[in-house]
Amino acid sequence: MQTATTSTVDLRGVSSARWVVWLMPCLTDIAFLLPAALLFSKLGGTKTLFADGDTGWHIRTGEWILQHGRVPTQDLFSYTKPGQAWFAWEWAWDVLFALIHRSWGLAGVGFATVLLLGTIAVLLYKLVVNACGNEILSFFVTTFALCGSSIHWLARPHLFSWLFFLGFLHLLPALQRGSMLALATLPLLMVLWVNMHGAFMIGIALLLAVAGGEAFEALFCRGESLQGAYSRSRHLLQAAALCLAATFVNPYTWRLHQHVYEFLSNTKLLDNIQEYQSISFHCPPAIFFELMMVLAAGAAFWYLQAGRITPALLTLMWTHLALLSARNIPLFMIVVAPMVGSWLQQVLTSLQPTRFVGVVFRTICEICEELKPMERLPRAYVLSGLSTLLMAALFVTGAKGFEAQFNPESFPIQAIPLVERSAAQRIFTYDQWADYLIYRLYPKRPVFMDGRSDFFGIPIVTATQHILAAQYDWKIQLQRFGVDMILVKPEAPLSEVLKMSPDWTMRFDDGKVLVFEAARLKPSISTSRDPKFRAISELTKANTTHLDDSFLERRTPHD
């Protein structure tokens, strides 16, 4: 690859200037702070981090493990499948964040998640820099990839899969050169990964895909023998075998693999889980995914022209997975970012000799070359440190955007006092709301179904859907499980039939949440005499009695 050569000033030998440069901010600082900047300026801050209720049951699971000194093997939270076998396959994350929660509450969980996103951003930036050698271009590609991955910025264990995935990608070049340190490090990372998040198999899939690509290149592009092809992929295959062995270092041993396989092969169940569906291209981050696919296609074609099969294979593989499931889009962004960076650097270089447009690209390349020595000098990362302290203070004080609570627009926060003083014991609601109820009420109130879809399976998922849609068997299902309290949204079909049913009494209504109790129950406190409840009811009576089209249009997607 041809690069522009310019004269630069080497400050490494100037002792009087070294300490000044050491304290100066750099693009690594900015990359670290980029997720926080996007999160708290554009994405609603902690409302985004805590927009998913799964965080609640993960924290309570971690607390249970800390209390009992072992991982659970049976259900802790439901009354529909009590005592049945359950795999807490992300137990290490649960324990880590339960410890953080014990010391600092949800504010600590949010703060730790932001730091984790910053670390992911730095690793991605360094990965792109190593691929293309252009710091400024790498920063812009990293920014683009982070914007596309923001659809899944949640305080949940999957962020560690991104972290370990980046670790694998960083170690791949050394592994291909035969580094024994890389060969030993990858299985150690896998031991952590398999206990942190269930997506650990993508690390092994990455190693096998690269091994297959290298062998294909050797055989069909370079005309090497089978022995030569094996020699090129040998270290990758060894690493894959060692990592596979490392996955059995978990509390459930081989049973975890069996459970993960059964879950991921159950297409009927996956079709009922939102994050396993394809992305809606109407949501704002989708534009970054679309454009990155176009750039990745250009990069893959460039690599194929150069006889490089592996990058094109990885691009094809993760594009398919990203189109299949929205939760794979961040992994797609991570995989293709260094390839896109390398291709764009080649484009910049090739366009320099052209007239008119070439002047612009030549100037950009010269600026990049001038900044490169400064960017590669040692830094103290003072900006990152000071900004981290500032964010910690904002989380402590609960400043706007840094509130330590679940998104009040998405969860029944205002209904919790009524639920707590009610005599009802068997609550039915949405799985996301059940996750929040576990966080607020465990172990006092078990739930019908929460976010652990892999545990509940199709029968309970189907029963939940039938009840919410007020289908023919909704009464039978409620009676079957002895449900005595229901939390539902005003627009749900179930809410309409409950209002007309003599077996149910509405106890709470704030325009976002309706709470119904079985008529046979007597509330411990008469909410009809509660002034606050009467005021809320008067304000929202029109909404709950007649939901017009304009009201429905104002509902957010999370509602």
Q: Which residues of 183-200 are buried (b: 16+ CB within 10 A; e: fewer)?
A: bebbbebbbbbbbbbbbb
- Is residue 235 within 8 A of residue 207, CB to CB? The reply is no
Residue-wise pLDDT tens digits, 472-506: 999 999 999 999 999 999 999 999 999 999 999 99
Nearest residue to 137 (alpha-carbon basis) of 343, 413, 334, 444: 343
Please give the torsion angle defined by the CA atoms of residues 302, 303, 307 and 312, in that order, rounded to the nearest 10 degrees.
-130
Q: How confident is the model at residue 522 (pLDDT cuts 50, 70, 90)?
A: low
Q: How wide is the angle at C-alpha 147 spanned by C-alphas 450 and 92, nearest 5°?
A: 40
Q: For the whole model, what pTM was predicted?
A: 0.87
User: What is the mean pLDDT of the segment spanning 517-540?
Assistant: 49
CB 451 within 8 A of CB 431: yes
Give yes or no for a contact between 82 and 75, defined as CB atoms under 8 angstroms apart: yes
Continuous H helices in 44-157: 46-49, 54-68, 91-132, 135-149
Q: Of 379 and 511, which is predicted with more confidence?
A: 511
Which phi and psi angles does 181 have, rounded to 5°? -65, -45
**Sequence-ordered list of residues with C-beta below 8 angstroms from that of 555, at least 6 positions apart, any chain:** 491
Read off the amino acid at residue 410.
S
Give tens-digit pLDDT for 360-406: 777 777 777 777 777 777 778 889 999 999 999 999 999 999 999 99
**What integer pLDDT is reported at residue 2 of this predicted model?**
38
Tell me, what's the pLDDT at 540? 33
Work out the number of other CB atoms within 10 angstroms of the CB of residue 78: 22
Mean pLDDT of 20-31: 85
Q: Write the DSSP symbol of residue 279.
A: P
Any idea where the domains of the chain sit in the sequence? 15-156+266-385, 413-554
Rounded to whole angstroms, the Cα distance separating 417 from 412 reads 10
Task: Tell me how far apart the alpha carbons of residues 450 and 456 are, in angstroms, rounded to a whole number.
Answer: 8
pLDDT at 59: 97
Helix 54-68 × helix 91-132 angle, to 10°: 120
d(CA 324, CA 267): 12
Contact status, residue 148 vs residue 329, Cβ threshold 8 Å: yes
Task: Report whether pLDDT(24) > 50.
Answer: yes
Nearest to 124 by CA among 195, 35, 208, 64: 35
**In the structure, what pLDDT confidence band is assigned to residue 96 with cuts at 50, 70 and 90?**
very high
